[in-house]
A and B are shown apart, each in its own frame.
Chain A
Amino acid sequence: MLLSLLAVLLLAPAHAAEIPQAEKKSGYDFMTPETKAMQDELTSNPGMLTVLDGEALWNRKTGAANRACADCHQDASNSMKGVAARYPAFDAARGRPVNLDQRINACRTERQQATPLPPESKDLLALSAYVATQSRGMPIAPPDDPRLKPFREAGEKIYELRQGQLNLSCGQCHDQNWGKKLAGATIPQAHPNGYPLYRLEWQAMGSLQRRLRNCLIGMRAEHYEFGAPEYIDLELYLMSRARGLPIETPAVRP
């Protein structure tokens, strides 16, 4: 079954049109009722523990500046509303887009004069989940910033690139074969609309980069270092491809 699907994938063209807006589905739509309930009920969603950690960190003074996120941004439910729906955004200082994690770390080093939080660390996931949760239910709305265009295109190239020992592209699974089964699992459309999310497979929260790394390993391709520009470009493209889908952070996925 796996082999036959792989055969289909290997014969498929490497490039296909983006999924039409009306057919876009969140990974949520492919889940069992039990997993959906785990995400929907905030009192039993395990991702909420991380969001609460994030709330505590938001209000905690840190770094040489002895400043909390809240000291500048005040109430996150107001100041951070919609932010996750439009990231990654262009950072003029770096001359390239940054994602939410990078923005949080830039704030830490520049404003709080604290050390940056390591990728996939509990605290970074917590802050990022807390910020993203403020956009829960809002549609993904990538900014119309011409400076982002070349990076988005670079991301699309990676998405369409056949790579790894299986010679697969992201699009072959997620554009051409979504809804079909890969072994016992349904192939979703690969929309990043719930990160950071609680993955049952991980029994923990993880970032989009952890998920992308996981995919690349599955394709038997070389994965990038956490924070690599390739991941940011890919995220930029995935967010543009997921335009209109609601932010679900903290999402739950199998």
Chain B
Amino acid sequence: MARALINVPKTAKRGQVIEIKTLISHEMETGFRPDRVGKLIPRDIINTFVCSYNGIEVFRADLHPAIAANPFLTFTTVATESGVLDFKWTDDDGKIFAEKANIVVE
């Protein structure tokens, strides 16, 4: 199972631009590497990342094999209201890794 590390401020002022950091364990196999007998190792990457804030998408990233192993992403969003940030990473097999974080907006 993939493991993710998420950094979201626990509290923020309404209207404040907050920075979110995410890190997830994934080999991001490019599909261009040969194995020991010279056969290409099949591509297996996380190709999409989505962050939703109380159900509304606020950030999305389309990723290609040039993203380093264990994808690291930082981005910003406006702290609008207290609630839940949902994080979703989707890989080439359509497998979804999900995480969430709570935020209190004052």
Q: Interface of A with B (CB < 8 Å)?
A: 43-44, 46, 48-50, 52-53, 203-204
Contact = CB atoms under 8 A, between A and B. Distances in A.
B5 A43 contact: yes
Q: How large is the interface on B (under 10, 10 to 19, 20 to 34, 35 or more residues)?
A: 10 to 19
B3 interface: yes
Contacts of A204: 27, 69
Which 10 pairs show the lowest CB-CB distances between chains A and B?
Answer: A203-B69, A43-B7, A49-B25, A46-B70, A49-B3, A43-B21, A52-B3, A48-B5, A53-B3, A44-B72
Contact of A49 (B5, B7, B21, B74): B5
A43 to B, nearest CB: 4
Contacts of A203: 27-28, 68-70
B61 interface: no
B18 interface: no
A17 to B, nearest CB: 40
Contacts of B96: none
A44 B25 CA distance: 12
Contacts of A53: 3, 25
B23 interface: yes
Given A43-B5, A43-B7, A49 B23 contact: yes
A44, A50, A52 interface centre (most CB from chain B within 10 Å): A44
Given A43-B7, A49-B3, 5 more contacts: A43-B5, A46-B72, A48-B23, A53-B3, A203-B69
B69 A52 contact: no
5 contacts: A43-B21, A43-B23, A44-B7, A52-B5, A53-B25
B9 to A, nearest CB: 11
Interface in B15-65: 21, 23-25, 27-28
Count chain A CB atoms within 10 A of each CB in B4, B7, B25 and give the residue with the most: B25
A46 B23 contact: yes
A50 B3 CA distance: 8
Contacts of B24: 49
Contacts of B70: 46, 49, 203
A44 B21 contact: yes
Contacts of B28: 203
Nearest to B21: A43
